């Protein structure tokens, strides 16, 4: 089965790219399922019930997130009632929402999705490696097809979790840096891997925000308002081809699709 996994969708331009491009990509690649990271979908940071609903109505079957998930407090009750949006599983016990879930493809095949957040240069949460062990054991009782969104800053932490989970999950893909890496591969025991999917949003930006404002921040060291540019929009992600019986990945292909030519 073929699954498109889309990197961090940023603001209104990101949502627009999903709305316009996902139906085309579905047709072109014969996709069975579409998954997107939504942590930046509301104005560039965070996710609201309305923006999550929009992504789901634009053809995303399931949403993962990251450390920005907590920005709008109304997302907490929403997550508790919306099994198609998850947050990193390794936040301490007792937090709202789920860290993993199951989505069923139109043909009836179940796919497990696990979201983790890294600890290097991010918050001091529970160990993503040990939490992955626990969650994968749970998901494997339902299905051999498991996708992992490792939301992390450090390449080393992402690569390490890829090797750690090789042969136990179908794919480990990274999010959070908003810059697509070129290291896609199938690891020796059958797990598809990519360090970062990249961003779905304005390409002429600094990870989705206006260039001038970010440079000003670096020059002055002072907090600035960061706006999301509307032009030069790109959708980034991967298409993973997974054996629906064994859960092994056969292929991983990077996707970079422009909303309009530029």
Give least dist CB 178 to Fe ion, A: 6
In the block, residue with structure tokens 């970010």:
214
Q: Which residues bind Fe ion (CB under 5 A)?
A: 8, 39-40, 66-67, 176
Helix (H, G, I), strand (E, B) or coil at 20: helix
In angstroms, how far is CA 87 from the centroid of its own chain?
10
Using the minimum distance from each CB to Fe ion, give the nearer residue, 62 or 249. 62
Rounded Cα–Cα distance for residues 250 and 241 (Å): 5
Using the minimum distance from each CB to Fe ion, give the nearer residue, 119 or 176. 176
Give least dist CB 38 to Fe ion, A: 9
- Which H/E stretch holds residue 215? helix 211-220
29 is catalytic: no
Give least dist CB 122 to Fe ion, A: 8
- Which H/E stretch holds residue 132? helix 128-140
Using the minimum distance from each CB to Fe ion, give the nearer residue, 37 or 100. 37
**Active-site residue (options: 68, 151, 176, 178):** 68
Rounded Cα–Cα distance for residues 185 and 116 (Å): 20
CA distances from 238 to 79, 89, 125, 180, 191 (A): 25, 22, 28, 10, 14
Give least dist CB 256 to Fe ion, A: 17
Using the minimum distance from each CB to Fe ion, give the nearer residue, 9 or 248. 9
Q: Which residues are catalytic?
A: 68
């Amino acid at each position: 089965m073929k699954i498109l996994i889309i990197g961090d969708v940023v603001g209104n331009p990101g949502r627009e790219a999903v709305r316009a491009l996902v139906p085309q990509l579905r047709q072109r690649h014969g996709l069975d399922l579409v998954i997107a990271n939504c942590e930046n979908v509301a104005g560039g940071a965070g996710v609201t019930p309305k923006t999550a609903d929009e992504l789901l109505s634009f053809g995303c079957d399931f949403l993962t997130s990251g450390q920005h998930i907590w920005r709008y407090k109304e997302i907490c009750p929403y997550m508790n009632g919306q099994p198609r949006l998850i947050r990193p599983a390794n936040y301490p016990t007792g937090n709202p929402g789920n860290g993993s879930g199951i989505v069923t493809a139109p043909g009836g095949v179940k796919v497990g999705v696990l979201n983790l957040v890294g600890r290097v240069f991010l918050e001091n949460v529970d160990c993503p490696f040990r939490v992955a062990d626990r969650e994968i054991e749970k998901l494997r009782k339902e299905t051999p097809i498991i996708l992992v969104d490792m939301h992390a800053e450090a390449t080393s932490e992402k690569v390490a979790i890829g090797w750690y989970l090789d042969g136990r999950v179908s794919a480990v893909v990274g999010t959070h840096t908003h810059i697509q890496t070129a290291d896609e591969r199938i690891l020796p025991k059958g797990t598809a891997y990519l360090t970062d999917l990249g961003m779905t949003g304005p390409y002429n930006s600094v990870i989705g925000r206006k260039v001038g404002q970010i440079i000003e921040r670096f020059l002055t060291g002072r907090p600035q308002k960061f706006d999301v540019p509307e032009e030069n929009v790109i959708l980034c992600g991967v298409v993973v081809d997974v054996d629906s019986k064994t859960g092994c990945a056969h292929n991983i292909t990077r996707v970079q699709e422009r909303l309009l030519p530029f």
